[in-house]
Amino acid sequence: MPKRHFSMLREFQLADWFTLGNAFCGTGAIFAAMRFLQEGIVADLLWGMALIPLAFVFDALDGRIARWRKVASTLGRELDSLADVISFGVAPAALGYACGLQGGWDWVVLSYFVGCGVSRLARYNVTAESLSGEEGKVKYFEGTPIPTSVVIVGLLALAAFSGRLGADLWFGEFRLGPWLLHPLVLVYALSGSLMISKTLRIPKP
């Protein structure tokens, strides 16, 4: 019997839809950042930032729902990682760029941050089984989880509320060789480095 149209979507579990909600929020945040760059309306930027904590809620709920319904799957884990890359990797970097982290060195650091997030999630997917206990649940994270980038978004939201965007960004800017660097971007470097740490172990709730 031939497969019906949208048969993949028909096979999604409830937790998978919450995961897609996570991705939807992250995508919306990226669009909001682009809208701000076009129109310069701070409210658009703030709405985009507000979507990241909402993505965090969806991310927390999808795992709980999967365990409650006992329907955890490899597909669900991959969906979760892809959604997390959008909401907690690319979206925070896009929001940072929109806030004024637009120097050449800023681009490098923001790209490093996203690369660390992707690497962190890939490592988790590969090692999840080996890190699982007898009950099949991962007991700890190696490195900080990528959703911790919600803290950076909170910092950016505070800057936006304070009117400290663009040329007024906290800590200013300075030229390092051919490019500009905003010291504020170093929070992304720190976050990314903590994500890919092999020695930092955080108990998983």
Interstrand relation of 140-142 and 201-203 (parallel, antiparallel or unpaired)? antiparallel
What confidence tier does 1 reach under pLDDT thresholds 50, 70, 90?
very low
DSSP for 162-203 reads TT--GGG-TT--EEETTEEE-GGGHHHHHHHHHHT-SS-EEE
CATH class of the domain comprising 10-203: mainly alpha
* Residue 79 tokens, joined: 């969906």
Say what the pLDDT of residue 146 is: 92
Strand partners, 128: none
SS3 64: helix
Write down the pTM of the prediction: 0.87
Instruction: For residue range 65-86, list pLDDT tens digits in order.
Output: 766 556 566 666 788 889 999 9
pLDDT at residue 9 is higher than 90: no
Domains of the chain, by residue range, sit at 10-203
169-193 average pLDDT score: 95
